[in-house]
Amino acid sequence: GAGVSQSPSNKVTEKGKDVELRCDPISGHTALYWYRQSLGQGLEFLIYFQGNSAPDKSGLPSDRFSAERTGGSVSTLTIQRTQQEDSAVYLCASSSNSGGPWETQYFGPGTRLLVL
Amino acid sequence: KNQVEQSPQSLIILEGKNCTLQCNYTVSPFSNLRWYKQDTGRGPVSLTIMTFSENTKSNGRYTATLDADTKQSSLHITASQLSDSASYICVVTDRGSTLGRLYFGRGTQLTVWP
């Protein structure tokens, strides 16, 4: 596709349930990022994938959060045993080449998660 | 602690008027600074990227300035249009990071009224 796509667009779930959020990066982009944007807050880095290297998971807030990237393309962010404070917009971004400081990150539209 | 602070938090202006948004940062060592525009319900889109040596950069009606000594940046929007209504986010990259780690401000919510 022309840009980064994410699904679902919106997700409402009950506290304690698991959710999976999907990101399809721009074709050919080797770097993929997940961010969280809570209401009234700035974007918060969660996890970073670059090619076949081990991901940088340093931003994940707890062990309930995990992510994988299959085949160097599609990524899935999983939140287990969701809590109300997990409610936020989850944004995915991808960039080409090294994914270093000079690469522009292209963002998807986000998945709006509401935990009741 | 690496931080990015933006002001004002929100701003309302009339169509056709100019406005200036501010960004102060403490990120060090500094690599670059970006301004992103985020329309409601959409992901952020890059407007400008500035390096340590650049003072001013324009993108159409958007002009960004950077003072690396005082660690301040501004985004000036000229002759505002209704489509400029969005959140404007200042993003600073840490030069010490090889992984493109970004530090985001909370954004300034701009509303342009007809």
pLDDT along chain A (116 residues), means of 10: 88 97 93 88 86 85 94 92 96 79 82 96
| The total number of residues written for chain A in this structure | 116
Q: What are the tens digits of pLDDT across the range A3-15?
A: 999 999 999 999 9
Question: What pLDDT shows up at residue B97?
Answer: 57
pLDDT given for residue B33 in this prediction: 92
How far apart are the two ends of chain B, measured CA to CA in Å? 41
Q: Check residue A55 and give its pLDDT.
A: 87
**Quick one: which of B102, B43, B92 has its CA closest to B72?**
B92
pLDDT at B61: 96
pLDDT at B96: 65
Per-residue pLDDT at A99: 56
pLDDT at res. B100: 58
User: CA–CA separation, A101 vs B95, rounded Å?
Assistant: 7
Residues B107 and B11 sit within 8 Å (Cβ to Cβ): no
Q: What pLDDT is recorded for position A113?
A: 96
Are the beta carbons of B79 and B19 closer than 8 angstroms?
no
**Alpha-carbon distance A91 to nearest alpha carbon in chain B (angstroms):** 7
Q: Which of B99, B102, B103, B109 to mutate to test the interface with A (most CBs of A within 10 A)?
A: B99
State the pLDDT at residue A102: 64
| Model pLDDT, residue A1 | 52
> For B52-114, where are the E strands, in sequence order?
56-59, 62-67, 72-77, 86-94, 102-104, 108-113
Min distance B8 CA to chain A CA atoms (Å): 13
Contacting A with CB below 8 Å, chain B residues are 4, 31-32, 34, 41-46, 49, 89, 93-95, 97-102, 104-107
The low-confidence residues of chain B, meaning pLDDT below 70, are: 96-101
